[in-house]
Structure 1
Amino acid sequence: MPVSPLTRIARRRIPLAALAAGLVSLVALGIGVAPASAADTDAISGGPSDDRTRLSYQLQPGQQVADDYVVRNTGTTPQQITLFATDAFTTQDGDYALLDTAKKPTGVGTWVTFEGSHPAEKLTLAPGEQRTVPFTIVVPANAGPGDHPGGIVVSSQKGDGQILVDRRVATRLYVRVPGDLQARLTIASLGADYHSEWNPFTGSTTVAFTVTNSGNVALGAHLLVGANTFFGIGAGATVRKELAELLPGSTRTLSVVVPGVPQTGYLAPYVKLQPTVEKEALNPGPLAAVERDTVVVAVPWWLLILLLLVAAFFLARRLRRRTDGKRAAEWVAFTEAEALRKAREERDAETASSVSTGPGVDRAGR
């Protein structure tokens, strides 16, 4: 993605020696072009002489190329400006960044010279003045294949008492050396955690992973993050994200929340990655997609509770049946015993009656 017109990053550095003297160093760093404002008397800008937003070249080892860079004083006061080149890197947040002014480059920043052979060019510009500065890139004979990223920086430093202000704006610089180009991104350290909610259909899954540019070509990516359940059926929403350009050797750790994931028991969170190149970047050839997945348990509490309720219902019903059967058997036994007892009493009564009256004997003794 082309760099925005200006991204300013303010830092405050307090070295130990300066701290004792009460000094504070304030650095303002930008990548792109710094627009002037009514209150910004020290505004500066820089960029190619045409409408390019980046400087991209394809050069063989030992080859060189000449180009121009335009520096402008867009403020209202005279400016002492330094023009130089340095190396680039990817920050942990995925931003394209350049080395600090005081740090010496070791890569493409050492390939650039100004006005013939100078590693830096110092200019004095009046308000509204601009200057076109020729520069040359010479690729070392032992340069390896792939992208070599950096930037051309316009720096204006001013000191006022205890404060040093360093204003920096820059343009991205890419030098591609042909050869064995490896356009490759990898996914590692993939893990996931399920977060349940009271509604069994509105949980979420946090998918964490690391993307590494293990090749030698600067690449971005389209990311697709989601989760599947049994038989590959999708569970929850699918999250789409754009991964900012990663420079060769850079790593980016991401954490993506997939919403609307139900408690299905088994989940297979996945990450699909399709590498991309910036609009103005050189084409590195075919780009292979990458996919990784993992397994996580989404405990179906609603189902467990339902099963427990059903089991409790049938257990209670079975116990009730056993209790009712036992009571019924006891009642049958009781009624049978009562019936036998009554029958025995009646039989005993009849027997007693027969013995007391005796057959063939009347009351007169006849």
Structure 2
Amino acid sequence: MFARATVVTIAAAVLLAALPGPAAAEDQGWSVQPATTASTTSAARSWFVYDVAPGQQVEDVVRVTNRAATPQTFTVYGTDAYTTTDGAFDLLPASRKPTDVGAWIVLGQRAYTVEAGRSLDIPFRLAVPTNAGPGDHAGGVIASVVTQQTTGDGAQVNVDRRVAARVYLRVAGQAKPAVQVEQVAVAYAGSTMTVTYRLHNTGNLRLSGAARLRVSGLFGVTLGRTPDIAVPELLPGASITVTERIAGIAPAGRLTADVTVDPATADGPLPSVTRSTSMWAVPWPALAIVALLAAGLLGLRWWRRRRANAG
């Protein structure tokens, strides 16, 4: 239990522009989106997207809109993105210092006050280091508001509500898209086969695509398959664990699970990647019947031979 005088910062979830349109927190009453500038070719950008070279600097503008009935002061800053374990795009908490895109974003100040019902266009500079690695990098520009609340036991907590616009950039250099299917594990119980595997983006481009599972028996006969599932966006270095189940698989001896991934980058599809693993699913009831029949036949032969010898 917190003491009455304790103040704890609680980070609320970051709202991000996953679909066209600004990222907005309707209950908080503000939104964040790329502003329209003379250098932009589109009047309705959903994200900040750049193709850059090491050492290049980009000037841009983020728009923070205050939909509340009173002025609000926002903390505006850049940070790095990462892929969560369930495949979601997320941004580092405020307590973690960015080392990638977030560290390259420079704003004129930290806090900005926006009048009620108004928007504020805030310029920033993206300074790409000369040693930036080639490939895709991702982050976000965040506008946050910290409010102090009192819990039921009287503790004081700071609630950090954050809204962000995504930043995607590709640094010029050798592109090396690659995905691996790792740690494939299979289990079989009650005619259901469960397959767990990890998809790991080992390249330097962000990936998405589709994955599917096929189970085969002896001589490659297909016993079951799953429809394609969408692979969420995996940032470079990210991995997710997938579990799929196929019911109605007969215990046909040696079973093989084939995991196939059809990866794709923003530039288009890549060659499929397949990894297989096998296990034994012994049809014990059928074997028991066969064993009983064999034992019966042997017993019958023994009995007939004994009668013949006695005669």
Structure 2-normalised TM-score?
A: 0.86
Residue 31 of structure 2 aligns to which amino acid in structure 1? S
Aligned residue number for residue 52 of structure 2 = 59
Judging by fraction of residues, say which structure has more helix. 1
Q: Choose which of 148, 153, 165 in structure 2 pairs with 1:159.
A: 148
For 1:23 and 1:177, locate their aligned partners in 2 and report how far apart those are by CA, in whole Å.
Answer: 41
CA RMSD of aligned residues (A): 2.1
Aligned to 2:290: 307
| Residues 104-113 or 266-275, more deviating | 104-113
Q: Which runs of 5+ in 2 are unaligned?
A: 17-22, 36-42, 151-155
Matched, 1:211 2:199: yes
SS of residue in 2 equivalent to 1:109: helix
Listed one character per residue, the Cα deviations across residues 21-63 of structure 1 (whole Å, up to 9, x for unaligned) are 3333332122322242xxx4x4221112343332211101122
Counterpart contact for 1:184–1:288, Cα < 8 Å: no
The match for 1:179 is: 173
Tell me the amino acid that sits aligned with residue 29 of structure 2: A
Partner of 2:128 in structure 1?
139
- 1:260 and 2:248 equivalent? yes
How far 1:146 sits from its partner (Å)?
0.5
The 2-side partners of 1:122 and 1:270 are apart by: 53
Per the alignment, do residues 312 and 160 of structure 1 end up closer, same or farther by CA in structure 2, a change over 3 Å counting? Answer: closer
State yes or no: 1:34 paired with 2:40.
Answer: no
Q: Percent same amino acid among aligned pairs? A: 36
**Alpha-carbon distance, 1:87 to partner:** 0.7
Higher normalized strand content (fraction of residues): 2
Q: Which residue of 88, 101, 125 corresponds with 1:95?
A: 88
Tell me, yes or no, if structure 1 residue 245 matches structure 2 residue 227.
Answer: no
Note the 1:71-150 alignment, pairs <5 A.
71-114=64-107, 118=108, 120-150=109-139
| Counterpart residue identity of residue 287, structure 2 | L
- C-alpha deviation, 1:286, in angstroms: 5.7
CA shift digits 1:324-355 (9 cap, x unpaired): 4356x1xxxxxxxxxxxxxxxxxxxxxxxxxx
Residues 19 and 223 of structure 1, relative CA distance in 2, 3 Å threshold: farther
1:194 aligns with 2:194: no
CA distance in 1, matches of 2:219, 2:301: 37
C-alpha displacement at 1:260, in angstroms? 1.8
3-state SS, counterpart of residue 99 of structure 2: coil
Structure 1 segments unaligned to the other structure (5+ residues):
1-13, 198-202, 330-366
1:170 paired to 2:164: yes
- One-letter code aligned to 1:290: V
Q: Which runs of 4 or more aligned residues in structure 1 lie more than 6 Å from their structure 2 counterparts after TM superposition?
A: none
**Corresponding residue for 1:337?**
none
The 3-state SS of whatever aligns with 1:183 is coil
Q: Is 1:43 aligned with 2:29?
A: yes
The TM-score, its normalising length taken from structure 1, stands at 0.74
| Matched residue type, 1:101 | A
